[in-house]
Structure formats: structure tokens, C-alpha cells
């Protein structure tokens, strides 16, 4: 009996160790995936930022067809799929996607023009915008949130003012072309990221996750493709051409496979849905704060792959300040959410449940950002 018990204990320990190792691998791939989005778009041949993002949406949509079917098989009896999307909810979903597209387009555009650490710091300050939206709606921020807002602003100013923060091919361009305008566009796009996260909180509660990711990326592919077509008439939504087609990611014969594979596996799958998988292994606190490492890894990738020069001390200090600011805004929102345990009131209007947006932000604060982050995919 003792030997049998020892074998069972050893088997349990081995399973726990394997699960722990798998969790570390998934978390590392998710951080790497999120960090590599801006870097890898530089190696994708299709033109315009929106067309590049349409490839990501198309890859994610293709990847989630099977998971969505499996989810449907197990949930078809408990979820009314036909009644999921009313006209009102479908319109709400489309508006959410427009905000997501604008947010991601800011990241991709900036990734093609400024160094990667700047790209990720500016694109990740959506928590600061959520705080400002909350303040506008009458919510008094906690002390940590005020501190985080101050640190984030100071960090962004430091980063923009770094004279050594240049890309390899940026020599000869003006400072405005190198840093200022791409940085401003990236910072502005984070506002749409804030709106996307706030609105995604409601979508996640009403639609099964895999089906939601599938649906969102199908529409995102169309929206990105149409905007790309408007920008450049040569872009074709249903073409497999790697230079001008929004389905070019399926044409593996006419492009380098390594960049496409990395773009599909890391920037698309792990960079979007990897944090969902992380919740199987880690707490929401660990998962939601893991993305704070992305600016550092993104800069290492940008420098290592020959895209960026190594930035100066001002960027390093500014990145630390900005990351600390994002952390404090997040921590302050969590503290406020824990101190307000009452349920979010649901109002009735024409027989349908309506969530009061100002009260949602008031009580859940930055937690609305975190829930959507690993429920509907990051970008």
C-alpha cells in the first residue's frame, strides 16, 4: 500500500509540475505575443496599417472557428444562440469594434514610425483615459489613481522628449516625423482603447467568449479592409495577393514563412487571446499586470531585429514612470472596487435590462479594463 501511495503522490506531483511549466510557457508566449505585434507588422508585406491589422483579424477568426464550434456543441442547450444578437446589441457590438480598430490602428501606425517601447507605453495608457472618463461622470478617483495619473503623464513627457529615441531608418527625417505626430496619434488611439474596454465588459457578459472572439474578428477584418481600401484603392478585400490583399495571409507560397508564422502564432493568437488562456493557470491580478512588461520586451525585440536604435536614459526613466502609473491606476481601481461591494444596479427600459454606464465605471473602475482584456482578447 505504501508503494502504491508513493506512486500516486509522485504522479500527482508530476502533473502539478507539468501544469505549472505549461502555465509559465503560456504566460511567456502571451507576453512575447503582445510585445511582438508592433515589431512583426514591419515584416508583413501588405500595405497600410489597416490592411496589416486585417491580416491579424483574419488569422484570429480562422483560428477560432474550431474553438467556437466546440463551445457551441457544449453550450447549445443552455445558450440561445439565435437570440444572442438583437439589433440593439449588434449595433453596440459594431460600435465596440470600431473603437477597437481605431485603437489597434494607432499601435500599428506608431510601430511603423517610432521605437517600440514608446509605442507600447502610449498605446497602453487606456487606463488613464478610463480614469478621466470616470472623473467626468462624477467618480472621485482614489489616491493611487491620482498618483498613477501623474506618473503616467510625467512618463509620457519624458519619453517624447528623448532625443535618442529614433528608428534605424529615421535618419534624415524631421523630429516631428520621427516622434511627435506618431506619438500623438498613438496616445489619442488609447482613448478608443478605453472605450473599447468599457463596452467590451457588457459584450462578454452576454455572448459566449469563443463565439464573441470569432464574431468580433470577422467584423474587424471587414472594417479594417474597408478602411484600407478607402486609404489605398489598390487594396482588395478578397484578394490573396500578399501586397494588396486582405486575405494575403493565406497565400503562403509568395511570402517568407517565418515572419508569417510568428505573426500568426505570437502577434495574432497569443497577442490577442493568450491572456484568456493565462487565467487557467494564474489569478486575474497576475494576468492583468503581465502586460506591463510588454514595453520592455517590445524594445528589446525592436533593437534586436534592427528596427530601432537603443533609446536614451529619458526613455528608460519615462517608461518606468509610465508603467508605474498604469500599475497604480489599476491598483487604485481594484481597491475602490473592493470597497464597494453592492451590486451594479440594472435599470429596466421597455422590458430590457440596461446597465447604467456611469455606475458601471463608478463601481468597477479599472476592473472593467481587466475583465475585457482577457475575455475578448486584447487587441
Residue 370 pLDDT greater than 80, yes or no: no
Residue 37 pLDDT greater than 80, yes or no: yes
In a domain, 74, yes or no: yes
Distance CA 117, CA 322 (A): 11
Q: What is the DSSP letter of 354?
A: E
User: SS3 of 254, please?
Assistant: coil
Binned at pLDDT 50, 70 and 90, residue 13 comes out as: low
pLDDT at 274: 83
In a domain, 12, yes or no: no
Pairing of strands 352-355, 346-349: antiparallel
Residue 114 pLDDT greater than 80, yes or no: yes
Cα torsion at 195, 138, 332, 340 (round to 10°)?
-110
Binned at pLDDT 50, 70 and 90, residue 273 comes out as: confident
Highest mean pLDDT among 86-100, 168-182, 324-338: 86-100
Q: Which residue did the predictor score with more confidence, 13 or 276?
A: 276
pLDDT tens digits, one per residue of 301-345: 999 988 888 888 898 999 999 889 888 888 887 777 777 654 444
Residue 141 pLDDT greater than 50, yes or no: yes
pLDDT at 378: 57
Residue 277 pLDDT greater than 60, yes or no: yes
CB 362 within 8 Å of CB 137: yes
CB 348 within 8 Å of CB 354: yes
Residue 367 pLDDT greater than 50, yes or no: no
Q: Which of 8-12, 221-225, 232-236 shows the lowest per-residue confidence on average (mean pLDDT)?
A: 8-12
Q: What is the pTM of this model?
A: 0.77
Q: Quick one: what percent of the chain has pLDDT higher than 70?
A: 82
What does the pLDDT average to over 4-29? 77
DSSP assignment of 254-297 equals TS-HHHHHHIIIIIIIIHHHHHHHHTTTS-HHHHHHHGGGHHHH
In a domain, 6, yes or no: no
What does the pLDDT average to over 171-189? 72
Q: Which residue did the predictor score with more confidence, 283 or 295?
A: 295
pLDDT at 191: 93
In a domain, 5, yes or no: no
Q: Which of 208-217, 322-331, 354-363 shows the lowest per-residue confidence on average (mean pLDDT)?
A: 354-363
**Residue of 260, 279, 276 whose CA lies nearest to 268:** 260
In a domain, 13, yes or no: no
pLDDT at 351: 46
Binned at pLDDT 50, 70 and 90, residue 62 comes out as: very high
Q: Which domain covers residue 209, as residue numbers?
A: 22-373
What does the pLDDT average to over 81-89? 83
pLDDT at 372: 38
pLDDT at 340: 66
* Total domains, the chain: 1
Distance CA 220, CA 242 (A): 19
In a domain, 11, yes or no: no
| Length of the chain counted residue by residue | 379
Highest mean pLDDT among 217-221, 272-276, 353-357: 217-221
pLDDT at 371: 38
Mean pLDDT, the chain, whole residue set? 81
Residue 352 dihedral angles phi and psi, to the nearest 5°: -110, 150
In a domain, 3, yes or no: no
Distance CA 311, CA 9 (A): 51
What does the pLDDT average to over 125-145? 85
pLDDT at 352: 46
In a domain, 15, yes or no: no
Amino acid at each position: 500500500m505504501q508503494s502504491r501511495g508513493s506512486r500516486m503522490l509522485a504522479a500527482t506531483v508530476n502533473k502539478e509540475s507539468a501544469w505549472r511549466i505549461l502555465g509559465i510557457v503560456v504566460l511567456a508566449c502571451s507576453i512575447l505575443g503582445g510585445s511582438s505585434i508592433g515589431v512583426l507588422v514591419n515584416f508583413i508585406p501588405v500595405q497600410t496599417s489597416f490592411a496589416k491589422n486585417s491580416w491579424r483579424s483574419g488569422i484570429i477568426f480562422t483560428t477560432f472557428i474550431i474553438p467556437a464550434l466546440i463551445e457551441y456543441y457544449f453550450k447549445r442547450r443552455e445558450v440561445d444562440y439565435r437570440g444572442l444578437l438583437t439589433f440593439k446589441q449588434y449595433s453596440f457590438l459594431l460600435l465596440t469594434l470600431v473603437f477597437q480598430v481605431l485603437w489597434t490602428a494607432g499601435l500599428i501606425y506608431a510601430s511603423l514610425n517610432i521605437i517600440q517601447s514608446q509605442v507600447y507605453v502610449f498605446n497602453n495608457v487606456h487606463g488613464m483615459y478610463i480614469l478621466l472618463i470616470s472623473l467626468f461622470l462624477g467618480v472621485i478617483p482614489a489616491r493611487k489613481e491620482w498618483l498613477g495619473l501623474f506618473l503616467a503623464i510625467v512618463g509620457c513627457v519624458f519619453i517624447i522628449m528623448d532625443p535618442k529615441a529614433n528608428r534605424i531608418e529615421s535618419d534624415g527625417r524631421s523630429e516631428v516625423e520621427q516622434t511627435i505626430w506618431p506619438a500623438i496619434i498613438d496616445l489619442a488611439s488609447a482613448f478608443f482603447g478605453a472605450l473599447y474596454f468599457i463596452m467590451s465588459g457588457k459584450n462578454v457578459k452576454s455572448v459566449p467568449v469563443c463565439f464573441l472572439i470569432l464574431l468580433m474578428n470577422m467584423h474587424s477584418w471587414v472594417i479594417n479592409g474597408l478602411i484600407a481600401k478607402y486609404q489605398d484603392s489598390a487594396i482588395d478585400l478578397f484578394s490573396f495577393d500578399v501586397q494588396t490583399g486582405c486575405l494575403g495571409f493565406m497565400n503562403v507560397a509568395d511570402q517568407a514563412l517565418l515572419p508569417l508564422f510568428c505573426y500568426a502564432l505570437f502577434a495574432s493568437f497569443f497577442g490577442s487571446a493568450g491572456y484568456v488562456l493565462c487565467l487557467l493557470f494564474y489569478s486575474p491580478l497576475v494576468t492583468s499586470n503581465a502586460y506591463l512588461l510588454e514595453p520592455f520586451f517590445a524594445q528589446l525585440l525592436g533593437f534586436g531585429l534592427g528596427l530601432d536604435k537603443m533609446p536614451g536614459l529619458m526613455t528608460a526613466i519615462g517608461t518606468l514612470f509610465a508603467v508605474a502609473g498604469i500599475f497604480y491606476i489599476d491598483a487604485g481601481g481594484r481597491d475602490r472596487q473592493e470597497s464597494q461591494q453592492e451590486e451594479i444596479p440594472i435599470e429596466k427600459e421597455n422590458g430590457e435590462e440596461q446597465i447604467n454606464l456611469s455606475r458601471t465605471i463608478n463601481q468597477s473602475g479599472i476592473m472593467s479594463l481587466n475583465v475585457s482584456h482577457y475575455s475578448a482578447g486584447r487587441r
